[in-house]
Chain A
């Protein structure tokens, strides 16, 4: 028999970026709110403090801040012909855990999607016709437009504390910014950060080749800053420990730095850690949720938390897992194409170039997670999909993020991997290398999806979620296009040695090396209940008091890091709940 807690107006599952945002915004309505976080509490002090945080082995290699697979994981297969096996030791992606979630240990790359990316099916249809859409691609429009989301992107950027240079201010193109971005109603809250030598070299080459370099937008403070919640940041010292680390100096945009202390001061908000939600409980008619059941790790018992409003703000993978376990939405069937929950899982298609300069010095340890110069000349809205034979795009960036030597030791491909040759190579090349990255879109496909595994179980006896995912030709073709363009830039930059790393056509998904924690889809937004799990306000179709935040809402992934769109959608949802839902709880569409 589960313990039962007193009823709350709102229960929030997960206290990362979107849980913190919804908690803050809804607490301003006077609602009684509890957030349930499965991991531990963590804050700048003591968990992220100097110098203990600057420990590559503990955090960079052994993944001290990341979810432990032993506590929750999933199984993975590359297609229906394979038996899915557990992701026993994380590699390809690193979900967060604990207060702040992955927002505590991200790189701070904060981008808005392009307007065309949110209406991608229409963009393709209007320019080339639907016949260019490959068989098996689930190409869709988001049920909400860039212009509708613009105030919420702006709101997130000002809360999150983003440094950058506007390129399109109310339709006016601003020199030094990204000329291909969507319209901004105002500039970033902080000016762009200075950039390191690698970025300057790349930008000079790109400009000389006719491209349009700009300083990458960054969730890293360039100045002292106070956000709308009264939270304060101090300027970054380029310590070179962002991704996989918490920031020890209040310079990285994170829930800890930008929201949580303000949220803790709200008397009608509370949160519980070690509170792992097992399922969403439904009313007998299935049309609303009555609350959630969670495992209280300290007490060692199940607890029922009744609530009028349920916000699913876990990481994308675990929002979908909870939905599958709770019977929210019909599970997607890739054979028939019917069902919605678990549909349209997507990822990111990236590549890079490494350039070696024997006699130049980069000091690679001087950096931060979103350092550098970018170009968007090969972005989604600049590519002729009909001519190039794929649907997609990528932004490029050069800017060193860290010089941590266990993992950040690029060597020429013919170097020995051990022995005297390896030792000589690390001595010769450390600090004389730079890179350029291509960060590309990933479409949704009929076969790439999420469901429940038939064999493997978690520590509560629940089925693990199963991911069926492999690279698809369309995105690999996009990647090969980027490879060819990047080879031209590399040749122009005249390094002593160089190498390109882009997946080839036919490449299979390798779960071992870190790629990116940009897992998207699975509870996608849609115009109607047959196509997705949630409506344009991230409200579950047919279950009006459940809202789901995060990248699970993405119809297909964009070419950018997802946090900007995740944050914008979270504010869009918060606004809809505040202005439309609370006065008259009902389906908003």
Chain B
């Protein structure tokens, strides 16, 4: 099993043996603690999204963090579930923000959030506008386009020419939420199995690295733990 680099070799051997025993036992105890496997994404019942919105978010996040290549994609990490739950919650309702008028949605972007809409309302209003743009441009809904066309359409969405000032930031909100769902703790519904943390080498909530401070240019060997105690 994994040795900790930089240890004296004999002690390292003993520790490695002990770790080997511990790790051999781990699958059983981990299995015992594991919650029931989540509902497959295709059967997930969104809390916030309508079926059409859900289909769009599934398709769009699959292009923002695609499954191809090294590392998990947004779909394997269940990013759409994360976004659905966030929009149903305080973030979606802008519950913490100052949302009193008058509003100036066309203000200089450097002055931050100035639309009267909450994040949930931005999704709700922007998705049909973008889908109408796709229908006009490609004669098909976004979800029906092939991946290359979807990437092209998303690039146009990023430019936001088809969006009114109130929803002009839709792409950046969607992208931010997608990355949040990819890298946040699994308790929020995304980063399923901590796959995104494993991919980049972030150890999650371990929170104790004192002996690693002066171990320079040596890869940290341990996988992540989550707030609820999952290990990967």
Query: Which residues of A pack against B, CB within 8 Å?
Result: 50-52, 54-57, 61-63, 68-70, 73, 76, 83, 85-89, 91, 193-197, 200, 235-241, 248, 360-363, 365-366, 403-406, 417-420, 422-424, 426-427, 430-431, 455-457, 508-512
Asked if B22 is an interface residue, CB under 8 A from chain A, the answer is no
Interchain CA distance A100-B213 in the complex, whole Å: 29
| List of B residues within 8 angstroms of A456 by Cβ | 100
- Nearest-neighbour CB distance to chain A for B66, whole angstroms, equals 5
Let me know if B200 and A363 touch, CB within 8 A: no
Let me know if A62 and B91 touch, CB within 8 A: yes
Interchain CA distance A102-B32 in the complex, whole Å: 41
Q: Closest 8 CB pairs between A and B?
A: A197-B216, A57-B184, A239-B207, A430-B200, A54-B205, A69-B98, A366-B209, A68-B96
Interchain CA distance A420-B178 in the complex, whole Å: 14
Let me know if B212 and A363 touch, CB within 8 A: yes
- Count of residues in B whose CB is under 8 Å from the partner chain: 62
| List of A residues within 8 angstroms of B180 by Cβ | 57, 61, 406
| List of A residues within 8 angstroms of B69 by Cβ | 420, 423-424
Interchain CA distance A311-B187 in the complex, whole Å: 43
Let me know if A422 and B205 touch, CB within 8 A: no
Partner of A426, one of B66, B107, B200, B208: B200
Let me know if B227 and A83 touch, CB within 8 A: no
Asked if B99 is an interface residue, CB under 8 A from chain A, the answer is yes
Let me know if A87 and B208 touch, CB within 8 A: no
- Nearest-neighbour CB distance to chain A for B188, whole angstroms, equals 6
Beyond the given A63-B96, A405-B200, please list 15 additional residue pairs across the A-B interface where CB-CB is below 8 A. Answer: A85-B107, A89-B97, A89-B98, A89-B112, A196-B213, A196-B214, A200-B216, A238-B208, A366-B213, A404-B202, A419-B64, A422-B65, A423-B66, A427-B71, A431-B201
Q: Pick 15 A–B contacts, CB within 8 A, sort by A.
A: A56-B184, A57-B185, A62-B91, A68-B96, A69-B97, A86-B98, A88-B113, A194-B213, A194-B214, A236-B210, A238-B209, A366-B209, A366-B212, A418-B154, A511-B110
Contact with A along B96-111 (1 / 0, CB 8 A): 1111101010010111
Closest A-chain residue to B203, C-beta based? A365
Contact with A along B31-68 (1 / 0, CB 8 A): 00000000000000000000000000000000111101
Interchain CA distance A55-B111 in the complex, whole Å: 28
Partner of A241, one of B99, B207, B214: B207
Interchain CA distance A177-B50 in the complex, whole Å: 61
Let me know if B196 and A248 touch, CB within 8 A: no
- Nearest-neighbour CB distance to chain A for B99, whole angstroms, equals 7
Let me know if A430 and B209 touch, CB within 8 A: no
| List of B residues within 8 angstroms of A68 by Cβ | 96-97
Let me know if A361 and B66 touch, CB within 8 A: no
Partner of A405, one of B71, B96, B175, B196: B196
B68-108 CB contacts (< 8 Å) to partner A: 68-71, 73, 90-91, 94-100, 102, 104, 107
Determine chain B's interface SS by DSSP, over half rule: loop
- Segment at the interface with A among B10-18, B122-130, B131-139, B217-225: B217-225
Interchain CA distance A10-B71 in the complex, whole Å: 60
Determine chain A's interface SS by DSSP, over half rule: loop
Asked if B151 is an interface residue, CB under 8 A from chain A, the answer is yes
Asked if B183 is an interface residue, CB under 8 A from chain A, the answer is yes
Let me know if B207 and A51 touch, CB within 8 A: yes
Asked if B170 is an interface residue, CB under 8 A from chain A, the answer is no
Partner of B207, one of A70, A86, A235, A248: A248
Let me know if A85 and B220 touch, CB within 8 A: no
Closest B-chain residue to A69, C-beta based? B98
With A57-B184, A509-B110: A238-B212 Cβ-Cβ less than 8 Å: yes
Let me know if A85 and B104 touch, CB within 8 A: yes
Interchain CA distance A89-B97 in the complex, whole Å: 5
Let me know if B96 and A56 touch, CB within 8 A: no
Let me know if B98 and A76 touch, CB within 8 A: no
Interchain CA distance A311-B51 in the complex, whole Å: 56
Let me know if A420 and B66 touch, CB within 8 A: yes
- Nearest-neighbour CB distance to chain B for A4, whole angstroms, equals 31
- Nearest-neighbour CB distance to chain A for B57, whole angstroms, equals 14
Contact with A along B178-208 (1 / 0, CB 8 A): 1110011101100000001101111111111
Interchain CA distance A363-B4 in the complex, whole Å: 14
Closest A-chain residue to B207, C-beta based? A239
| List of A residues within 8 angstroms of B97 by Cβ | 68-70, 88-89
- Nearest-neighbour CB distance to chain B for A246, whole angstroms, equals 13
Q: With a 10 A CB-CB cut-off, give which of A61, A85, A248 has the most chain B CB atoms.
A: A85
Let me know if B200 and A427 touch, CB within 8 A: yes
